[in-house]
Amino acid sequence: MSLHFAVLSDPHVTLPQTLWDHPSRFHLGEYSIPALEEVLRHLEAIAPEFLLIPGDLTQHGELENHLWLQKRLARLPFPAYVIPGNHDVPVPVATAEAIAPEDFPKYYRQFGYAQSDHLYYSLEIQPGLHLIGLNSNQFGADGKVWGWIDQLQLTWLEEQLTRLQGKLVLVMVHHNVLPHLPGQRDSSIGKRYLLENSAELLAILHRHGVQLIFTGHLHIQDITYDRADGHCLYEITTGSLVSYPHPYRLLRLDQDSLHIKSYRVDAVPGQPHLGEFSRCWMDGRSLPFVQKFLTDPPLQLAPETAQALLPQLRTFWSQVAAGDTQLYLPDFPAPARTYLESFSADLASSPTGSVDNHTRLQLQPSHWETY
């Protein structure tokens, strides 16, 4: 027998009166609720065992948006589990615009925090199947959020995993634990999506045989892995519901494998061509972002060289965001061509022709109970 569940990420719920409309914004917050409703209608029809949402639940931590999502998730006929993203707890102390971090669990008691006043938790969600939700949001001296798992939480995690030895454990965290882009650790714009102390977390997860991490934050469809001492750890990051390609995933968990199928929200009321509209929106606003990638390490092109290449890279980021990227740039000079083409997915090794959207991950058998 198998277990079915769903993942959606970074819904950035934005009630119309809270919409933050900046000329350079990437997020299509005005479609956040219609897109989420499309996904939830689909899930309500197929009734998965549970839903995971790895953070950025709201636009900027607004109380109104948290309350709306709390009420909507409470209407689901199956459990949903959430964690905070950097947009959910954007300030260390409550303001007129955003909730305080310590209040986050109060709004999501039904969705993971029934027995935790911390921003992290551990619970059994099916017989022998455990979910650990981590908080990767820490505040620097400047009051801004950055990705870090504090030592108290790491110690707690080690204790939990020791207790759960031999069980199947799913870990959910907002910031990425593994790089999902070439040279991401060296890029000033790329590394901000990574946990700064990911090595510490990885060591604990490998030591205790954790095989699956679910993340968001980066707004792309990507699956990657890390091997250590014969153990394989997969990280499944899911793109945002407010940016192209507006994806979500349905997953089937068997004793020794995880089957993943991805879907897209292509139309919502008022925007029957959401997919195409959103792709064009991203293409039109991503060029400064792409230029930063070109001028940052590891490539470090001169600004004028990067500027000359940009017209041919208009669709670059939307291709990356969609997953299963295939880039062929024969007219580009080396090393730019080599670097950019390295963003391509290795589809030749996949029997499904997809490694980021539709795939099967081989797992080590564990002691959770299928039913």
Residue 195 vs residues 138, 146, 184, 213: alpha-carbon distances, Å: 10, 8, 12, 13
Residue type, 229: D
Query: What does the pLDDT look like over 244-286, one tens digit per residue?
Result: 999 999 999 998 999 999 999 999 999 999 999 999 999 999 9
Q: In what side-by-side order are the strands of the sheet with 257-264?
A: 80-82, 50-53, 3-7, 247-253, 257-264, 359-362
Q: How confident is the model at residue 161, as a pLDDT?
A: 98
- CB-CB contact of 7 with 235 (8 Å): no
- Give pLDDT, residue 1: 66
Give the tens place of pLDDT for each residue, 301-320: 999 999 999 999 999 999 99
For 347-356, the pLDDT digits (tens) are: 987 878 899 9
Q: Where are the domains of the chain?
A: 3-267+355-362, 285-341
pTM, rounded to two decimals: 0.97
Order of strands across the sheet that contains 129-133: 121-126, 129-133, 168-172, 212-215, 231-237, 222-228
User: What pLDDT score does 370 carry?
Assistant: 42
Omega cis (within 30) before 365: no
Q: Percentage of the chain with pLDDT > 70? A: 98
Indicate the pLDDT class of residue 371, thresholds 50, 70 and 90: very low
Position 369 scores a pLDDT of 54
Per-residue pLDDT of 2-58, as tens digits, reads 899 999 999 999 999 999 888 778 899 999 999 999 999 999 999 999 999 999 999
CATH 3.40.50.300 fits 3-267+355-362, yes or no: no
pLDDT of residue 138: 96
Residue 293's pLDDT band (cuts 50, 70, 90): confident
The DSSP code sequence of 3-47 is EEEEE-B---B--GGG----TT----GGGHHHHHHHHHHHHHHH-
